[in-house]
């Protein structure tokens, strides 16, 4: 597929500097791009490559003042990064629209409901009474359990598993290997030291516009629902336990673990490898630094915490600075002690 600078500018409401008829058919990083590729410049650290790149078209910020001549056609937009992301999304949608039909071998139960313009890849399984919405793409080896509901414009990448009774909203993307609706970690200790499994009869509800990375695990609720609210973005390798709730537009980085029944507020940001205990509440707008261990509720909105156990971010940084100074402080104290001892001996 080829697109001219004029067509691209219309898509992203940009202004053209250069040849509006030049075409591209691929994307490239500005420092590596070749003729026929489209690139972008958003980070000032890479501006030097604007004057040497071989890219045919480069998207730049509207207010960027050129320091040298450029050979590429430029498209100026208010925010180059956002405009480029928009183009990538449209390009991906075009590619996905080319997928259609039901590949064989695959299994679709006779009681399942399949919408229009759905793609089902080879070796996929759709169980009894499951519902799949319009324009949804189910890649090979995906599994959809009985009574599960999948909305419109959903993308389930290879090997995604949606267990029975779970609900996936509209415009959701779930990447390869993720499991939605596995049993929560519920075991009742017995008098003889063994553990009795507690049946997990709830489900998982993933609301609209959520994206979940690869190999994440979101457990079904013991009773009720584990809920991922609208617009949340989850990275790869995340563990979300039973009855957890993730608020609207919250962002969680890789290898985070959230224990059961914890409630995460709206627009919360959680850094990689953070761990959060169960049965606590994280206020709206909280920021949890990478590798933090959160052991109690964060009640004040827009609080930033770090460390294990996690506490106020600014105070933690001050403590770290003091800790780094401890060897020097120890030496100074030892010198003072020697001086005091010498003065005492003189007396």
Q: Could you tell me if 66 and 117 lie in one domain? A: no
Give catalytic residue positions: 242
pLDDT digits (tens, 9 = 90+) for 19-69: 999 999 999 999 999 999 999 999 999 999 999 999 999 999 999 999 999
| 346 part of a folded domain | no
Q: Could you tell me if 161 and 294 lie in one domain? A: yes
| 330 part of a folded domain | no
Listed residues 62, 78, 97: the one ending a domain: 97
pLDDT digits (tens, 9 = 90+) for 202-229: 999 999 999 999 999 999 999 999 999 9
- CA pair distance 345, 63, nearest whole angstrom: 73
pLDDT at 323: 81
pLDDT at 99: 82
The enclosing domain of 54 has a CATH number of 3.40.1390.10
| 320 part of a folded domain | no
Q: Could you tell me if 139 and 231 lie in one domain? A: yes
Q: Could you tell me if 162 and 135 lie in one domain? A: yes
Beta partners for residue 213, in sequence order: none
Give the CA distances from residue 132 to residues 125, 165, 246, in Å, rounded to whole numbers and listed in that order: 12, 13, 24
pLDDT at 92: 81
Q: Could you tell me if 105 and 80 lie in one domain? A: no
Q: What are the φ/ψ torsions at residue 122 (nearest 5 degrees)?
A: -60, 145
Summarize the confidence of residues 295-304 as an average pLDDT. 96
Q: Could you tell me if 197 and 135 lie in one domain? A: yes
pLDDT at 347: 65
Summarize the confidence of residues 80-87 as an average pLDDT. 94
| 49 part of a folded domain | yes
Summarize the confidence of residues 291-308 as an average pLDDT. 95
Q: Is the pLDDT of residue 109 over 80?
A: yes
Listed residues 97, 126, 148: the one ending a domain: 97
Q: Could you tell me if 55 and 130 lie in one domain? A: no
The alpha carbon torsion through 84, 86, 91, 96 (nearest 10 deg) reads 140
| 321 part of a folded domain | no
Summarize the confidence of residues 295-311 as an average pLDDT. 92
| 224 part of a folded domain | yes
Q: How confident is the model at residue 93 (pLDDT cuts 50, 70, 90)?
A: confident
pLDDT digits (tens, 9 = 90+) for 256-273: 999 999 999 999 999 999
Residue partners of 32: CB distance under 8 A and separation at least 6: none
| 264 part of a folded domain | yes
Q: Could you tell me if 234 and 254 lie in one domain? A: yes
* Number of folded domains that form the chain: 2
Summarize the confidence of residues 139-149 as an average pLDDT. 98
Listed residues 47, 67, 97: the one ending a domain: 97
Q: Is the pLDDT of residue 311 over 80?
A: no
pTM of the model: 0.82
Summarize the confidence of residues 241-247 as an average pLDDT. 98
For the chain, the average pLDDT equals 94
pLDDT at 310: 82
pLDDT at 1: 74
Closest CA to 282 of 267, 290, 212, 272: 267
Q: Could you tell me if 223 and 86 lie in one domain? A: no
Strand order in the sheet with 257-258: 107-108, 125-126, 143-144, 161-162, 179-182, 217-219, 239-240, 257-258, 275-276, 293-294
Q: Could you tell me if 45 and 136 lie in one domain? A: no
The enclosing domain of 287 has a CATH number of 2.160.10.10
Closest CA to 151 of 172, 181, 166: 172
**DSSP of 252-307, one letter per residue?**
E-TT-EE-TT-EE-TT-EE-TT-EE-SS-EE-TT-EE-TT-EE-S-B-STT-EEET
Q: Could you tell me if 33 and 110 lie in one domain? A: no
Q: Is the pLDDT of residue 328 over 90?
A: no
Q: Is the pLDDT of residue 344 over 90?
A: no
Q: Could you tell me if 93 and 225 lie in one domain? A: no
Closest CA to 310 of 255, 273, 279, 260: 273
pLDDT at 91: 83
pLDDT at 343: 84
pLDDT at 192: 96
**DSSP of 48-112, one letter per residue?**
GGGGT---SEEEEETTPPPSS---SEEEEES-HHHHHHHHHHHHHHHHHHT--EE-SS-EE-TT-
| 170 part of a folded domain | yes
Closest CA to 178 of 207, 148, 218, 221: 218
Burial (CB < 10 A; 0-12, 13-18, 19+), residue 165, is buried
Q: Is the pLDDT of residue 98 over 80?
A: no
Q: How confident is the model at residue 309 (pLDDT cuts 50, 70, 90)?
A: confident
Range of the structural domain that residue 124 is part of: 101-312
């Amino acid at each position: 597929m080829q697109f001219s600078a004029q067509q691209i500018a219309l898509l992203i409401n940009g202004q053209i500097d250069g040849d509006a008829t030049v075409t591209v058919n691929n994307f490239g990083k500005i420092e590596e791009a070749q003729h026929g590729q489209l690139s972008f410049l958003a980070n000032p650290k890479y501006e030097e490559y604007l004057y040497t790149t071989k890219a045919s078209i480069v998207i730049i910020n509207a207010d960027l003042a050129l320091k040298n001549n450029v050979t590429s056609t430029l498209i100026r937009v208010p925010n180059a990064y956002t405009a480029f992301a928009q183009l990538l999304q449209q390009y991906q949608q075009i590619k996905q629209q080319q997928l259609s039909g039901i590949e064989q071998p695959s299994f679709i139960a006779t009681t399942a409901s399949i919408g229009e313009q759905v793609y089902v890849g080879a070796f996929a399984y759709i169980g009894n009474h499951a519902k799949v919405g319009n324009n949804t793409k189910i890649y090979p080896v995906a599994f959809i359990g009985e009574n599960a509901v999948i909305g419109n414009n959903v993308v389930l990448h290879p090997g995604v598993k949606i267990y029975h009774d779970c609900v996936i909203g509209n415009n959701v993307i779930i990447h390869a290997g993720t499991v939605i609706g596995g049993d929560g970690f519920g075991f009742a200790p017995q008098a003889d030291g063994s553990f009795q499994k507690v049946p997990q009869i709830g489900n998982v509800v993933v609301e609209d516009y959520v994206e979940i990375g690869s190999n994440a695990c979101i457990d079904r609720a013991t009773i009720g629902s584990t809920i991922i609210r609208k617009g949340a973005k989850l990275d790869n390798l995340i563990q979300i336990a039973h009855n957890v709730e993730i608020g609207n537009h919250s962002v969680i980085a890789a290898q985070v673990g959230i224990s059961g029944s914890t409630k995460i507020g709206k627009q919360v940001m959680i850094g990689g490898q953070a761990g959060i205990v169960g049965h606590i509440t994280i206020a709206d707008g909280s920021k949890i630094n990478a590798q933090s261990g959160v052991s109690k509720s964060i009640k004040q909105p827009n609080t930033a915490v770090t460390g294990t156990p996690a506490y106020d971010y600014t105070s933690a940084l001050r403590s770290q600075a003091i800790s780094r100074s401890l060897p020097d402080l120890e030496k100074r104290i030892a010198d003072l002690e020697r001086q005091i001892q010498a003065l005492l001996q003189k007396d």
